[in-house]
Amino acid sequence: MTKDNNTAKDRAANALWGGRFDGAPSSIMEAINASIGVDKRMAAQDLAGSTAHAAMLAAQGIISKDDEAAIQRGLKEIGKEIRDDRFTFSTALEDIHMNIEARLAELIGEAAGRLHTARSRNDQVATDLRLWLRDALGDIDALIISFQKTLLGLAEAEAETIMPGFTHLQSAQPVSFGHHMLAYVEMMGRDRGRFADARKRLNENPLGAAALAGTAYPIDRYMTAKALGFDAPMANSLDAVSSRDFALEFLGAASICAVHLSRLAEELVIWTSAGFAFVSLSDQFSTGSSIMPQKRNPDAAELVRAKSGRIVGDLNTLLMVMKGLPLAYSKDMQEDKEPVFDAYDALCLSLSAMTGMMADLGINRDALAAAAGVAYSTATDLADWLVREADVPFREAHHITGQIVKLAEGKGLTLSELSLADMQAVSPKLDETVFSVLTPAASAASRISYGGTAPDNVKTQVKLWKEKLS
């Protein structure tokens, strides 16, 4: 494990910033001021930024080549120490930037003090967080693709499986189970687009903006931007150090994605209940009860549903932190990383859990088929038949169908169980061919409009999505 230390030696380390101060901060000040417990997660990004900055300073003649070589050697050693869990993190040194700089001084001496030339912790932290988020967005994109591919597998296998479609959680019209899965594939596709857009806007380099006004040194910000994979340096030094809209945009996209996952999680909770029994989850994604031995609870789905609230809360946290801040940097902004990291962790776990559950899902096709035919789900098909085959205006067809549904309900029959004579008593325009549209499978197969639930449509969309994700 990496170590956290808080010795008298560490307290004296405020010499990194404390020329203006005679004494050490109180333990309470130290506790509220320190962020190393959170931002040590950005160690790799901080080292990358320092590596690029040192190379640029040497290229511009601001530090010597010998000092740069010593700095680069020290940074590599620190990176190895961190990877090997041999690095001592100190709360007295506040944050990842000062922890690394202090260790660099121990390793290489005076040359370490030249690394901070022409930069500030303000532009450092903005750079680190952008670099970290850029990597995180790549992780999330890969997880979403994996989830989409799992959903596509279900959509392909269950294209012909008919289930009830719902509005207001009431049975509405029969749909393909595969079509239902494709709805979430589409949602996840838009989520990927939002994350990709966020990545484009965050990929600008704040490094070199220094504290807020830029620097008098002849730095080359394009060089550091290129070295760190940014598209360009940020054009305004105030904006570079004080903006966190890139983090807010990530949290916004994460919140929408989490809500999408939560909706499917809620459906799994409903569908696995005894009253529905549409699907089942194996022991891998279920838990039992401490008192009721018969229980199989969809706890993974419930926790995904709960984590969406946590992620939305992270968005609101950072919005509230930023809403009243004047330019440029304020210490409030130290609170930006915890909600970002928390949302990332929660979203990655939620995506992994949903992918696992959907891959594990057992489909009860008989229960789905039975439910697809209840509550007069083919009533719209009857109305459409009257419009298409008997040239009845839709509003009149709607009224006729309502009367027939009422008749069937009174007799305790489904629409397909009514006799032709019963239906013709309501409208003589009906003939025996109407029965061809009154089954759930026929209803679903007839929805051939673009984006409709017809199984052939589903198969076409599965093929197109496979090509997109290949």
Q: Select from 265, 347, 266, 348 the least CA-distant residue to 314.
A: 347
Looking up tokens 């009174």 gives 410
- How is residue 56 written in tokens? 């640029």
Total residue length of the chain: 470
- Say what the pLDDT of residue 223 is: 98
For residue 376, is it left (φ>0), alpha (ψ between -120 and 50) or beta? left
What is the helix (H) or strand (E) element at residue 211, kind and residue range? none
Q: Is 44:128 a contact under the CB 8 Å cutoff? A: no
Q: What is the pLDDT along the chain (470 residues), one digit of tens a residue?
A: 455 555 444 444 455 555 566 666 777 877 787 788 888 999 999 999 999 999 999 999 999 999 999 999 999 999 999 999 999 999 888 899 999 999 999 999 999 999 999 999 999 999 999 999 999 999 999 999 999 999 999 999 999 999 999 999 988 889 999 999 999 999 999 999 999 999 999 999 999 999 999 999 999 999 999 999 999 999 999 999 999 999 999 999 999 999 999 999 999 999 999 999 999 998 888 776 666 656 678 899 999 999 999 999 999 999 999 999 999 999 999 999 999 999 999 999 999 999 999 999 999 999 999 999 887 778 888 898 899 998 999 999 999 999 999 998 999 988 888 899 999 999 998 989 988 888 899 899 999 999 999 999 999 999 999 999 98
pLDDT of residue 414: 85
Q: What is the DSSP letter of 456?
A: H
Rounded-to-5 percentages of helix, strand, coil across the chain:
65, 5, 25
Helix H or strand E segment including 175: strand 170-176
Separation CA 168–CA 172 (nearest Å)? 9
Handedness of CA 38, 42, 46, 47 (dihedral sign): positive
Catalytic residues: 168, 289
Q: Rounded distance, CA 388 to CA 377, Å? A: 19
